[in-house]
Structure 1
Amino acid sequence: MESTKTNYQRALLIIHELEKRFGSITKVPDYDPKMQEIHRLLPLDRPFKDVNYQRVNWLDRQGYSIAHIAQVTHHSKATISKYFSTYNIKPKREFKYRVKYNSSTVAYYSTSLIHLASLLLNKRINDTVTAKKQLNMHGFSVRTHHFVWYQIPDGDYYCLSYLKKLAIKQGIDSYIYPGEYQL
């Protein structure tokens, strides 16, 4: 009869189990899967107690995702997201693609291969497979990986879905957020 229990009742059972294991619910780390299940079942407006703000801000400035920041600071994604929302912090996107022209040292990073190929080739492209084929035909190589902002060398280009042109990375603080300005 698990399906007839409310979220509160399911959370309460997990809380009792964790209290037996840890002695108190306050001693259970946020990253514990059962604690995360409680947060999912009871999305309460929790204070940012014990959040290492300096480390969270440093990781964000480097370009790490909310999920990564939550994992390494031992907090839930909800806690980090709420902290960002409260202080109007906009996280950077991780880049999925690195494209290089075979005879150049300059690289182009993007969250969308379709958007990047459209900008580089100045043509409308509708899917990722076509984008990769078109780029390869024009002498570009495509690498798929998770690239974090700090890993992109200064002087290389980046492309975000809301930008109309390629942008150049000029230091850790040169990331262009939505609504700042459109290139």
Structure 2
Amino acid sequence: MRKTNIPYDLIHQLEVKFGSLSQVPEDNPILANIRKILEFDRRSPILKVHLREEIKELLDKGYFIKDVADELSISTTTVRGSMRMFNIKTRPRFRYKIVNQGTGEIIYGSVCQDFGKLINVNCSSYKLAQDYLLLYGYKLTKCKPIVLWGELKKGQKYYQNGQLQVKK
């Protein structure tokens, strides 16, 4: 017998607000989400495989778990379950980049402190990192908008978990 993941927290939220599920308007987004969650449990294995591929594709691009859930109209629990079941990892998003002013090479990072490792200096703030890197020929700037991992080209460098990586 298969266990159904009933979103009791969402149902309770609606009951508190409307008094009863029968009083909830049909166009309520929480009610629509509950229906999608329950519908997911009844999907065929082929549809579940397709959904898993969509989850993996969005995570590979650099979307956060919540963004994936919102994009696919599923719960974050469903996304996390797929990640655990199929060993899918999230990818970094980059808020900073440095440009080597001599070569034009770009390196991306999520925290500006990582860039200090290039020049063996502990940079505890954005301004300090910017000043030190400039002395060594690097220009540190904030990425606006944030750059997703999926937007990097093969061969581009980035920092992840304090380690310099090259996208393959």
Q: Same fold (TM over 0.5)?
A: yes
Bigger proportion of residues as strand: 2
Residues 11-31 of structure 1: per-residue CA shift (max 9 Å, x gap): 5224636753018x9x9332x
Structure 2 residue runs without a partner (length 5+): 1-8
Q: Distance in 2 between matches of 1:47 and 1:92?
A: 28
Alignment partner, residue 12 of structure 1: 15
Q: Which runs of 5+ in 1 are unaligned?
A: 1-6, 36-45, 171-183
* TM-score, length of structure 2 as denominator length: 0.70
1:158 is aligned to 158
Q: Is the 8 A contact 1:112 1:160 kept in 2?
A: no
User: Conserved in 1, the CA contact under 8 Å of 2:96 and 2:140?
Assistant: yes
Question: Alignment partner of 1:64: what SS?
Answer: coil
Which residue is 2:131 aligned to?
Answer: 133
Which amino acid is the alignment partner of residue 26 of structure 2?
F
Q: What percentage of aligned pairs have identical amino acids?
A: 17
Q: Hey, what does 1:169 align to over in structure 2? A: 167
**Does the alignment pair 1:83 with 2:87?**
no
Aligned CA distance change for structure 1 residues 123 and 81 (closer, same or farther; 3 Å): same
Alpha-carbon distance in 1 for matches of 2:165, 2:111: 14
CA distance in 1, matches of 2:67, 2:13: 28
Q: Which amino acid aligns with 2:133?
A: L
Say whether the 8 Å CA contact 1:98–1:143 is kept in structure 2: yes
* Higher fraction of helix: 2
Q: Secondary structure at the match of 1:153?
A: coil
The number of residue pairs the alignment matches comes to 147
Alpha-carbon shift at residue 159 of structure 1 (Å): 0.9
- Residues 18 and 64 of structure 1: is their aligned pair in 2 closer, same or farther, counting only changes over 3 Å? farther
Query: What TM-score, normalized to structure 1?
Result: 0.65
Q: Secondary structure at the match of 2:97?
A: strand
